[in-house]
Amino acid sequence: MGLIIVPLILGTCIYLKGRKYPVLFETWFYQTKETSSLPGSGWIPDYLWCVSLWSCFVWLWKGWNQIPLLWKWLLWLLINATELMQWMGWIQGTGDWIDLLMYQMAFFNVYILHKSELI
């Protein structure tokens, strides 16, 4: 459960602190935003959120091997397709190859942690 909650919260904090412009809900609370130049603030949250999502699937199915192969493929395709659709301008966002790399790293890190039974 810790690999679901902690990366989700940490990724959100880094995302909000590292943005130059406030997201919509931040404008409800204040008009100006104090920014920081956190290294990696553009891609570390993507990595952490993806770790959280994959860990959630592992938790729901009670183990990596119990996740149906179709679900693994669908989730992997959905995550990567959203980035590609952003890059092509089909959906809002900024698609870039570093985000795709972070998604692959998150997938393999969660896979290795659960297959090696380190967690």
**How many Cβ atoms sit within 10 Å of the Cβ of residue 57?**
17
Determine the length of the chain: 119
Identify the pLDDT of residue 109. 95
Write the CB contacts of 2 (distance below 8 Å, at least 6 apart in sequence).
Answer: none
Look at 27 and 84; give whichever has higher pLDDT.
Answer: 84
Identify the pLDDT of residue 32. 62
Q: Determine the Cα angle at 102 with ends 97 and 118, to 5°.
A: 160
pLDDT tops 90 at residue 36: no
Count the helix, strand and coil residues of the chain and give each as a percent rounded to the nearest 5.
Answer: 65, 0, 35
pLDDT tops 60 at residue 35: no
pLDDT tops 60 at residue 74: yes
pLDDT tops 60 at residue 33: no
Q: Please state the domain extents for the chain.
A: 2-115
Q: With pLDDT > 70 as the criterion, what percentage of the chain qualifies?
A: 82
Could you give the CA distance from residue 4 to residue 8 in angstroms, rounded to a whole number?
6
pTM score, two decimals? 0.82
User: Average pLDDT, whole number, for the chain?
Assistant: 86
